[in-house]
Each structure stands twice: as structure tokens, then as C-alpha cells.
Structure 1
Amino acid sequence: MGLETIDLAIVIGYAVALIAIATLLSREKAGHQKDSEDYFLAGKALPWWAVGASLIAANISAEQIIGMSGSGYVVGLAIASYEWMAGITLLIVGKFFLPVFLKHGIYTMPQFLEKRFDVRVKTVMSIFWLLLYTFVNLTAILWLGATAINALTGFDITYGLIVLAVFAVAYSLYGGLKAVAMTDIIQVVLLVLGGMLITWIALDKVSGGAGPIEGMSVLLEQAPGKFDMILSKDNPEYMNLPGIGVLIGGMWMMNLSYWGFNQYIIQRALGAKSQDEAQKGIVFAAFLKLLMPLIIVIPGIAAYVLSQDPNSGLYVGRPDQAYPTVMALAPIGIRGLIFAALVAAIVSSLGSMMNSISTIFTLDIYRPWHKGEESEGELVKIGRFASLTAIIIAVLVAQPLLGKSEQAFQFIQEFTGFFTPGICAIFILGVFWKGSTANGALLAAIGSFAFSVVGKFYFAHIPFMDRVLYVFLGCCAVIAIMSFIDRKMPEKAIDLNGIKFGTSSAYNVGALVVVAAVAALYALFW
């Protein structure tokens, strides 16, 4: 293992080029001072291709590449449900929720909750998201990224955390969402090409040099259980991916919360030029999601098969080391390119997460306290300060929180699953049921955590994905009961009459292709 001089030159060259491009894109025209719309929503000028690429670049981070590949090593292709079902979820968000958010001209998800309910709901959810993004998502991206660097180069994990944090700050802190989103085009190209390359190398190694197609045949022959999309109850991973329950249960809640009501993701679509551009970007992202298991999960399965062969010379210490171990198979030069692709995924997600933290803190926590007395320049400065503070905290707590985790991806999913049901209930009923009240939403937010804790410790036999569904239904019931107790139609109910839910023919055709492709994949690997 290790990077040679040419590999290091490629990685350093990429880093310098990315920072230079981000800085260039962040420059404003003479006489124009960067305001909050410029910094947090890229001036609402993103084209569809930037929206779609940025959605995927923000999503495919170390927690996805390293974590999901590790789960592929343990579980197999079934973990790809998060990716393929996400493609359909994106289409649902683009048609039914995005038009509502854009119509109300919001910057943040908490801002929407205040418009629909009240300041209490906004504040509670703002604090929750800030804590989640800082202590779970940002921390996981840093930790898994540093772990990958350590596995490939031997570079100390602590120093790896610091280097990634500094790189992310240099790349995204000044320019905000525009710098992140526009450079994500480069990141996604590098990510997809590098990912395809590592899959090719892994499959070729499995086949003994006979090529990737033969390598895939070997995987199917030697590890057929790794290609079951629907796990049986006797599978040791059933508690994480409970068979048919994945298709009809909590997975929908997990994906809707992530892709539709998650500031970190939806902020890209909110920064689009128009609703049509945002929706085309979402279809583009849905197509890219279909590719992700090929470049993330398959290398994990290949690592499993190779590790069973004593002659392969490949040893995987623990599941989350599967992808970095396979990366080490690449030849000199190519290894640097693939390593740069991994770094691209890490810093893109770090930059996106930092920008979302700064947006929520500045607009939903800081600005209300100052009652409009702050200048636009001051808001941008506060946003940068919030980003910097969050990344420093994440560096400090990364190892204590995740140092002993075997499958970080599953850990992240289960932890966020404590809050996901309440978020989905609040947004779905808040948008489509005029009768839902602020008191009901507030109780659902608190009840989501309470119900999940009870389910985790007193109904441990229930798979966590099923628990997410049951808690969602419980939260919906809480909102309904409390709203009927209030007996008053909320003054802030959403009027759907003036919202354009119609979609273009391009969107409809793209959506049909994505749905058909997902159905075919499930039929093939049932």
C-alpha cells in the first residue's frame, strides 16, 4: 500500500486546481457585495446540470463510499436499496414537495416550518438538524475519509482529519453554495470515472485478469447470497434490511426525509434558476443514483470474495476497510487518480454540509435574535464562523464517536432513524393536511425520539426499518389527535391551489425510465 510520487502529484494538483476554481467562481462583479442569497442559495441561479451534479456530490461522501462499500462486504447488494429507491424518492420530491418549497421562497427547511406552524417548531428542528449535521454527518464523513486515507497511505488518522477539514474550509468557506455547487460538476465526473475504474480493477482481480465481465460471473458464482435484494429472516442482516419490509416500510421514510426535508440536500434545488430547472436537475440526479451501487457496492462484494481466497493476497481488517483495501490494487498513477476521486467525494460533502450548517444557524437561529438589525455582510460573516466552528467540533469528536464502529453506514442510518419518522410526519401532513397544527407538529418531533427509544430498548426484536414505519404512523396519529384537540383551523395552512404541480414532458419521460429501471433491477436480483 501507499502512494508514489506521481500519485501524490495528481492528488495535490487536483486539490490546488479545485481551490483555485472555487475561489474564481466565488468572485463577485465589481461593486457587488456578496449577500445572504448569494452565499446560501448561489443567487438562485443554478442550472439543472449543476443542481443534479451537486445533489449527487453532496450525497456520495465517505459515509456512502466507505460505509456502504463496507456494508456491501457484509450484506451484499441488498444495501443498494438505499440507492435505487432513492431514485424514485427524488422523483416524488421533485413533483410533490419541491413546488411547495419554491412557491414559498424559502431558504431553509426550518423557515418553512415556521411559515407553516410556528417559531417553536422551527427552533426545535433547527437545533436538531444542527446537532445531527455536526455530530453525526460531518463527523462520519471526516472519520471515514481519514480512515480511508490511513488504510491506503498509512497517514495518521488524526492528521488525516485535520487535512480534510482544512481542505474543505479552503474550498468552500469563502464562496458558499455557488462555489460548492459549480465545482461539484468536476467532483461528480471524477467520482464516477474513478469509481468505475476501481470497480473494473476489482472485478478483473476477482477473475484473475480475465476482465470485469468474467469477474462479475465469479462473484455471482462464489457469493450468490450477496446478490439477494430481499433478505430472508434467517439472514444475519435481516434486522437492518427486513426483507419485503424494505420496499413497503421505513425505507420510504428514510429516503423522503433525506432527499426531501434535509437542508443539506434540498438546498441545491432551492438555489435553482426556476422550478423547471430544479426538476430537471432532480431527474438527472435520479439517473446517477442508478449507477451508484456499481461503483460503491460491487467493490465491497469483490473485496469479500477476494478475502476468502488465501492466494489473493488481500486482507480486509474490518468491513469499512473494504473499499480502501481494493483501492490499493490499482497501479501507480491510476491509484492517485482514484484517491483524488475519493478526496473529491469527501471534500464536496464536507463543503455542502458546512454550508447547510451555516445557513440554518445564520438564518434560523442568529437572525431572529437580532430582529433584522444585521447587515447582509454580517450574515455572511456569521455563516462562515458557524461553518468553521462546526468543522472544528467534528474533528475533535470524530474518533471518540466512531472509532469503534464496524459498519458506520448502518450506525448512521439507525441513529438518524430516531428522528426521521417525526420529520416525515410533520412535513407530509403539514403540506397536504390543512388541519395539522403547531402543537401536533411539536409533539410529533418530540414523540419521534421517545417512540424510537421505546422501540429500540423494549421491542428490540423489531427490525429498525420496520420500527421507523411504526413510529412514523405513531407520529401521524399524534399530529391528528392533537390537531383535533386544538379544534381550530391553523391560520398558516398551505394553500395548494396556486402551486404548479405539473411537470414537463422531459421530466415525465425521465421519471418513467428511472422507475422502469429500478423495477427491472429488483426483478433481476430478487
Structure 2
Amino acid sequence: MNFSTLDFAIFIGYCALIIVVGIWVSREKKGHVKNSTDYFLASKSLPWWAIGASLIASNISAEQFIGMSGSGFAIGLGIASYEFMAAVTLLLVAKFFLPIYIKEGIFTMPQFLKLRYDDRIRTSLAVFWIMLYIFVNLTTVLYLSALALSVVFGISTMWAIVGLAVVAVSYSIYGGLKAVAWTDVIQVVFLILGGLVTTYLALDAVSGGAGPVRGMAMLFEQAPQKFDMILSEDNPFYKDLPGLTVLFGGMWIANVSYWGFNQYIIQRALAAKSIKEVQWGLVFAAFLKLLIPLVVVIPGIAAFALNADISRYDEAYPWLLNNLVPTGLKGLAFAALMAAALSSLSSMMNSTATIFTIDIYKAHLRPEASEKQLVVIGRLVSLVSIVIAVLVAEPLLGGEEQIFQFIQKYTGYVSPGIVVLFVFGLFWKRATSNAALATAIASVPFSIIVDMVFPTMPFLDQMGLVFLLLSTLMVVYSLWENKSKGVYPERAIQYDRALFKTDNIFNLTSLAILFIVAAIYIIYW
């Protein structure tokens, strides 16, 4: 990729801006020492627009820009179901889940499991999430972003990984969630505007210079098979998106697990000024979600129509940057990709540090730790987590064709169990701690067994089946304990219906989002 002086200036200026803003917003008032609430929950001061922007900036990482564009090249618009269903899921989380979390005053999702069940569940899930963030989430963001970075600067993927990590560390470790969230507001602007530039140019290229509207029309003409939201069984990628499962099956498990019970996501919501602010923030994020396929999926389809000369699907987006984006705009387009990478990296590092510090260090290793010590441990864990991810990223992911699908499948091994634990814990008072522990232990073995017994079954269908099996285990075990052992849950969550009341702004905007999603599926069925 040929970068001009202006491109380099824009890209380097963007990196400098993020570092400076991150450090600046991390300052504390004279005489105030940063405590755990400041570091892990941004002093509970985030307004709705910052929450929504931070959620999207943290969620849209290189796995979407590069991984989902690659899946757009291979599968088509159907892969955007992850985005459209996420918009609907955000509404459910805002209305039914977050009011309970905020009422309970928790810092982490494992902490909620301790309140509802016991410390065994808390610790086991804390260890799992730490491993997931380091070895799946951090590694994929680093590797996919480094693929593009190595093309631009002509350096090895490993050095690109190191460079990304250094920039992320430079502003996020010191400031904690406050630095992450406020820099995300800037990054989501770069992310969307820069992404739209690439989309515009890709569609314009498809039309031969006749403009993006004509380019979109030509995509429908040249690649109609790429615009099926519901894939038929004869589609070669049916196993990735198995028909109506995207509406009524396992995709709900993936989305509810990610948006409703994931520390990496929920932590921003827990940092809100109030419940109204957080609900508006999630609606704002849902609206932004509806735009994301235009930024990350359509370019992949355009690359297919342009007969991109690539050896693997995940090279589609870097190919567009290299061949279509002109000198002078490459810096902006590439800054968008880096915005997605840096926001996700900093968020994952902070969430890993939060879980370790609150659920492992303070809960088991040093209960008497001071606020200052908790902040120091949080910073240290952030650094260690990114160093580990740097070391394993390339060896772990170098041979994968569609990394977005790799992520979905292997997180899908545990997502059904997480959803069962939280949904029953939130809304079924008879669920017992022992039943929850059995469900947590059985989650991965059940997923492996189902995969072995039904090897040709799409992984989203496998997730749905595992969810049903684990739900049955939870119900049967809990009822057996209730009846035969006289064990009744003492930690059931107490609430009344008034807790779930939402204002007219939330209700009307939610209806608008539901209408838009329904229209998309009806039009592109």
C-alpha cells in the first residue's frame, strides 16, 4: 500500500490524539487518589452517548472490519444477522437485565454469580473469562489488525502486533475504563466515517465510477446470491448460517451471551450515571449496530464483485484498502481500522484486569487490599494480559481461513452454559447453586459430545441443542434438590415489575429499531 505524507500524517496524528486524550481524561483532581470505582467503572459518570459510542467502538474490532468483511466476501449479507440480531438483543438487555445488575451494585459478572449462587461459580467463570479474553479475544484483534498493518508498512505480522500493543498500552493502562470510554467516543467517529469512505469507494468501483448508489444496484445484479439473509440448505455456507436458526435458534444464544453477560460489554453499562442513561445508551448502540453492515459487510461483497485477487477470505478488506482507496484518504480509512482495533484491545485489557482484581485477587488472594493496591494490580494484569496475547497471536491464528467464524464456533462451546446460568439465575428463583455448578461443568463436555455425535450439524444448531440439554439439567437438578434435600435457594434475586419500567423515549426508539430489523428480513428473505 502506497502511503503519502498526508496519509502518514493523518494516521500518526490519530494515534497521537488517542494517546493524548486518554492520558488527559485520566487526570484526577488535586488531592484525589484514583480508587477501584474510578479505575474499573469510570467513577460511574458516563452519559448515554458515551456508553453507546464506547459499546460500538469496543465491539467493532478487526474481527468485524477484516473477519466479517471476509465472511461478507464468502457468504454475503447473511453474516450481518449477527449485527441485526445484536441490535434487538441490546434492547432486551437494556430493559430486563441491566436494571437488576445496577440494583445489585456489582462490578463484574462473576460477582453477580457469587450473589446469586456461590463463590464456586464465581471463581470458575472468572478464570474462564480471563482465559477467553486473553487467548481468543485479544489474540484475534491483534492478529487481524496486524494483517492490515503489515501490508501498509511492509513489516512482519509480529512487529505489527507489537506496535498495536504498545499504542493500546500507552493510554489505557494508566487511565482505566475512563480513558477507554472517552477515547472510544473519538474512535467511533473515525471508525464509522473512515469505514464509510471505504464502502463509498468500493461501491463506486463496482459501478465503474457511476457512484455508490449505482454500485449498490449493480451488486444486486451481479451477485444476487450474496443478498440472502436466510440461507437455503443448498448454500455452500449453510453450515455457518443455518436458515431460520438465525431468527429462532442458536444465534440468540450467541448474542444474549455476548451482549447480556459479557464483562467486556456490560462494564460500560455499569459505569453509567443512572439507569435511564444506560438504557438510552444501549438504544443508541442498537441504532449504530444497524449501520455496521454497511461499513463491514458490503465492502466484502463489493470485493467479491470486483474479483479481488486474494488467497484467503480475510484478505478482502486489506485488498480494498490497497487497491481502491486513493492517496490522501488511505490514512483516514486505515485510522478507522486502527480505531476499531485499539478500542477493542483497551477494553478487553481493562475487563480482564477488572475480573482478576475483583474476583480473584480481592476475593481470594488479598481480601484486605487497599483501593490503591487494587488499582496497581489492575494495571499490572492489563500489561501481563496483552504481553501473553502478543506472544500467542500469530502461532494460534496464522492458519485460519475465516477467523470471525473461528471465534463464533469456539466461544459457542461455552455460550449456552453461560446463558443458562444467568437466565435461570435472574428469572427462576428455584435454581440452586449445585445445579448451577453442574451446568457450568457440563457446558464444554456437552458441546464437545454434541459436536462429535452430530459433526455435520451447523454450530449454531449445536449451540441451541446444548442450551436445551443444559436447561434440562439445571431444572431437573434444582427441582430434585428442592424436593428431596429440602434445599431452597436463599440468594434468589428479589425485584418487582416496577424495576423494568422504561420511559417513552426508550419505548418509541426500540419500536423503530424492531421495525427496521423486521423490514430488512422481509425484503432480503
TM-score band, normalised by the shorter chain? over 0.9
Residues 134-145 of structure 1: matches in 2 within 5 Å?
Answer: 134-145=134-145
**Match of 2:77?**
77
Cα deviation, residue 150, structure 1:
1.9
**Match of 2:32?**
32
The residue type paired with residue 213 of structure 1 is V
The residue type paired with residue 169 of structure 1 is V
**Match of 2:503?**
504
Task: Please say if 1:215 is aligned against 2:215.
Answer: yes
**Match of 1:116?**
116
**Match of 1:197?**
197
**Match of 2:314?**
320
Task: Please say if 1:372 is aligned against 2:371.
Answer: no
SS in 2 for 1:169: helix
Q: Output the CA distance in 1 between the equivalents of 2:424 and 2:136.
A: 27
Cα deviation, residue 5, structure 1:
2.1
Aligned residues: 520
Contact 2:416 2:464 in 1 (8 A): yes
SS in 1 for 2:128: helix
Task: Please say if 1:254 is aligned against 2:259.
Answer: no
**Match of 2:160?**
160
Q: Output the CA distance in 1 between the equivalents of 2:21 and 2:395.
A: 35
Cα deviation, residue 457, structure 1:
1.7
Call closer, same or farther: CA 1:330–1:55 in 2, change over 3 Å. same
The residue type paired with residue 404 of structure 2 is F
Contact 2:426 2:493 in 1 (8 A): yes
**Match of 1:414?**
409
**Match of 2:64?**
64
Scaled by the length of structure 2, the TM-score of the pair is: 0.98
Q: Output the CA distance in 2 between the equivalents of 1:322 and 1:461.
A: 28
Q: Output the CA distance in 2 between the equivalents of 1:370 and 1:463.
A: 42
SS in 1 for 2:369: coil
Q: Output the CA distance in 2 between the equivalents of 1:2 and 1:86.
A: 36
Cα deviation, residue 385, structure 1:
0.6
The residue type paired with residue 486 of structure 1 is E
1:265-297 deviations in Å (ceiling 9; x for gaps):
011000000000000000000000000000100
**Match of 1:335?**
330
The residue type paired with residue 521 of structure 2 is Y
Q: Output the CA distance in 1 between the equivalents of 2:155 and 2:7.
A: 14
**Match of 2:519?**
520
1:279-326 deviations in Å (ceiling 9; x for gaps):
00000000000000001000000001111xxxxxx4222110101111
Q: Output the CA distance in 1 between the equivalents of 2:116 and 2:464.
A: 24
Residues 280-429 of structure 1: matches in 2 within 5 Å?
Answer: 280-307=280-307, 314-328=308-322, 329-429=324-424
**Match of 1:10?**
10
Cα deviation, residue 327, structure 1:
1.3
Scaled by the length of structure 1, the TM-score of the pair is: 0.98
Cα deviation, residue 65, structure 1:
1.1
Q: Output the CA distance in 1 between the equivalents of 2:499 and 2:155.
A: 52
SS in 2 for 1:84: helix
Q: Output the CA distance in 1 between the equivalents of 2:516 and 2:439.
A: 36
Q: Output the CA distance in 2 between the equivalents of 1:2 and 1:381.
A: 42
Q: Output the CA distance in 1 between the equivalents of 2:292 and 2:217.
A: 20
Q: Output the CA distance in 1 between the equivalents of 2:171 and 2:405.
A: 29
Contact 2:6 2:328 in 1 (8 A): yes
Q: Output the CA distance in 2 between the equivalents of 1:228 and 1:153.
A: 37
1:152-187 deviations in Å (ceiling 9; x for gaps):
332211110000000000121100000110111110
Contact 1:99 1:499 in 2 (8 A): no
The residue type paired with residue 239 of structure 1 is K
Contact 1:28 1:34 in 2 (8 A): yes
Q: Output the CA distance in 1 between the equivalents of 2:171 and 2:4.
A: 25
1:329-383 deviations in Å (ceiling 9; x for gaps):
1111100111111111100000000000000000000001245311111100100
**Match of 2:188?**
188
Task: Please say if 1:472 is aligned against 2:467.
Answer: yes
Contact 1:151 1:321 in 2 (8 A): no
Gaps of 5+ in 1: 308-313
**Match of 1:272?**
272
Contact 2:361 2:367 in 1 (8 A): no
**Match of 1:310?**
none
Q: Percent of aligned positions with the same letter in both sequences?
A: 57
Contact 2:2 2:327 in 1 (8 A): no
The residue type paired with residue 383 of structure 2 is L
Residues 485-500 of structure 1: matches in 2 within 5 Å?
Answer: 485-487=480-482, 488-497=487-496, 500=499
Cα deviation, residue 499, structure 1:
6.0
Query: After the TM superposition, which of the residue ranges 152-161 and 194-203 deviates more from structure 2?
Result: 152-161
Runs (4+) of structure 1 moved beyond 6 Å? Answer: none
Cα deviation, residue 4, structure 1:
2.2
Residues 449-460 of structure 1: matches in 2 within 5 Å?
Answer: 449-460=444-455
SS in 2 for 1:500: helix
1:89-139 deviations in Å (ceiling 9; x for gaps):
000000000001000000000000000000000011001100000000000
1:240-259 deviations in Å (ceiling 9; x for gaps):
10001111000001000000
The residue type paired with residue 488 of structure 2 is M
Q: Output the CA distance in 2 between the equivalents of 1:516 and 1:277.
A: 23
Q: Output the CA distance in 1 between the equivalents of 2:109 and 2:373.
A: 22
SS in 1 for 2:500: coil
SS in 2 for 1:236: coil
**Match of 1:99?**
99
The residue type paired with residue 393 of structure 1 is I
Q: Output the CA distance in 2 between the equivalents of 1:317 and 1:499.
A: 56
Q: Output the CA distance in 2 between the equivalents of 1:63 and 1:32.
A: 38
Q: Output the CA distance in 1 between the equivalents of 2:238 and 2:442.
A: 26
The residue type paired with residue 70 of structure 2 is G
Q: Output the CA distance in 1 between the equivalents of 2:213 and 2:491.
A: 57
Contact 2:11 2:331 in 1 (8 A): yes
Query: After the TM superposition, which of the residue ranges 110-119 and 470-479 deviates more from structure 2?
Result: 470-479
SS in 2 for 1:455: helix
Q: Output the CA distance in 1 between the equivalents of 2:193 and 2:23.
A: 25
Q: Output the CA distance in 1 between the equivalents of 2:364 and 2:124.
A: 15
Q: Output the CA distance in 2 between the equivalents of 1:209 and 1:333.
A: 18
Cα deviation, residue 498, structure 1:
7.5
SS in 1 for 2:442: helix
Contact 1:55 1:265 in 2 (8 A): yes
Q: Output the CA distance in 2 between the equivalents of 1:366 and 1:485.
A: 35
Q: Output the CA distance in 2 between the equivalents of 1:211 and 1:40.
A: 46
Contact 2:41 2:271 in 1 (8 A): yes
Q: Output the CA distance in 2 between the equivalents of 1:45 and 1:181.
A: 11
**Match of 1:311?**
none
